[in-house]
Amino acid sequence: MKRQPGPFMTIIFACAVAFGATMATAPRTLAQSKPLSIVALGDSLSAGYGLPAEAAFPAKLEKALKAKGHAVEIVNAGVSGDTASAGLDRLDWSIPDGTDGVIVELGANDMLRGLDPAVPRRAIEEIVERLKARDIPVMLAGMVATPNLGATYARSFDGLYPEIAEKHDLVLYPFFLDGVAGETNLNLPDGLHPTAQGVEVIVSRILPVVERFLATLTKR
């Protein structure tokens, strides 16, 4: 006669099954061994111009994500002064193999120099296409033209980010400096680069969108 398991063994078995099911569906958290590797490819706004490394956008974003339980490393690939074309030129060595995702924040310097918006559009789109060819997902952080450049320029420049995002099905954060641009107390004396407090505002506003981006990575 086959021996039936006792109540205690039945409970242990049920708990083991439930635990296995939970682990199979759980998101990548701090308890897991390999964090997601995200590269912030940008200009001085990512690099943290005028700030200590720990106050730069990538470091602050990583800290905020970890505080919410995400296992993630944000690599700072920001270079002050870079245009979108300069970011494209260094793309291959800035984004190493094994990168899980890239936040592209470029175009501000193109705009400040008054370059034809077609130039950053071509460069950013090529960055996206080359990363997609490497099977590396992209989140796009947009920029907005300053009013002194005129309405025609602003329409062309501002529109390139949502149009690229729509074409390539990217997660988009429309304006990287939302809540900070034009706020004297949140910018350095040059009026262009955020203070440490300004970076905190950027991170708090962009955080939900970055979390949505991370969710797409864990489903891959």
25 assigned to some structural domain: no
Q: Is 190 a catalytic residue?
A: yes
Q: Pick the catalytic residue: 44, 46, 85, 94?
A: 44
55 assigned to some structural domain: yes
Number of domains comprising the chain: 1
61 assigned to some structural domain: yes
The pLDDT of 4-18, averaged and rounded, is: 44
5 assigned to some structural domain: no
CATH of the domain at 133: 3.40.50.1110
Q: Pick the catalytic residue: 43, 46, 82, 193?
A: 193
Q: Pick the catalytic residue: 43, 178, 190, 204?
A: 190
What's the whole-number average pLDDT of the chain? 89
16 assigned to some structural domain: no
pLDDT score at 33: 59
Question: Phi/psi at 182 (nearest 5 deg)?
Answer: 85, -5
Q: Is 169 a catalytic residue?
A: no
Which residue pairs from 154-162 have beta carbons closer than 8 angstroms and sit at least 24 positions apart in sequence?
A: 156/117, 156/118, 157/107, 157/111, 157/117, 157/120, 160/107, 160/117, 160/120, 160/121, 160/124, 161/107, 161/124
2 assigned to some structural domain: no
Q: What are the CA-CA distances from residue 202 to residues 58, 71, 89, 103 (Å)? A: 11, 21, 27, 14
pLDDT score at 46: 97
pLDDT score at 34: 87
Q: Is 70 a catalytic residue?
A: no
Q: In this model, does residue 2 exceed pLDDT 90?
A: no
**What is the span of the domain harbouring residue 205?**
35-218
Enter the pTM of the model. Answer: 0.85
20 assigned to some structural domain: no
Q: In this model, does residue 21 exceed pLDDT 50?
A: no
- Residue 6: pLDDT band by 50, 70, 90 thresholds? low
41 assigned to some structural domain: yes
73-118 pLDDT tens trace? 999 999 999 999 999 999 999 999 999 999 999 999 999 999 999 9
